[in-house]
């Protein structure tokens, strides 16, 4: 189970590094990739991107270093919240194609959060 959790954490990390980097540091590329970026304040896009990048650090480093490993499921839960809010935002805008990615990443993040908590208890 530990290997599966690491694989899913890696997939999440790659996805959130990509989207977080675009949102935080490549604003014009983010606007070109996602139509919603033009409709929200630039500062909010930056904040979401930064939160995703910090979430990636929390997703990987605590578990890998064994330093406060409870932060890994906490970070996964935080990323799940970001994705859930994103899904609600896309539903409100009628962007149904965008929701598929949100649902997949929500499921992965919840899997890691729950799986890491159970792994720590065993």
Beta strands in 44-84 (DSSP E): none
Angstrom distance (rounded) from CA 12 to CA 10: 5
- Whether the pLDDT of residue 122 is over 80: the answer is no
pLDDT digits (tens, 9 = 90+) for 49-108: 999 999 999 999 999 999 999 999 999 999 999 999 999 999 999 998 889 999 999 999
């Amino acid at each position: 189970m530990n290997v599966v959790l690491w694989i899913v954490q890696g997939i999440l990390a790659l996805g959130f590094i990509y989207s977080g980097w675009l949102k935080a540091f490549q604003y014009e590329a983010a606007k070109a990739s996602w139509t919603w970026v033009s409709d929200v304040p630039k500062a909010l896009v930056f904040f979401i991107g930064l939160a995703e990048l910090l979430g990636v650090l929390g997703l990987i480093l605590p578990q890998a270093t064994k330093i406060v490993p409870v932060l890994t499921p906490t970070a996964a839960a935080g990323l799940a919240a970001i994705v859930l809010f994103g899904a609600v935002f896309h539903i409100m805008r009628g962007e149904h194609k965008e929701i598929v990615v949100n649902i997949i990443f929500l499921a992965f993040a919840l899997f890691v959060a729950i799986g890491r908590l159970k792994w720590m208890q065993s």
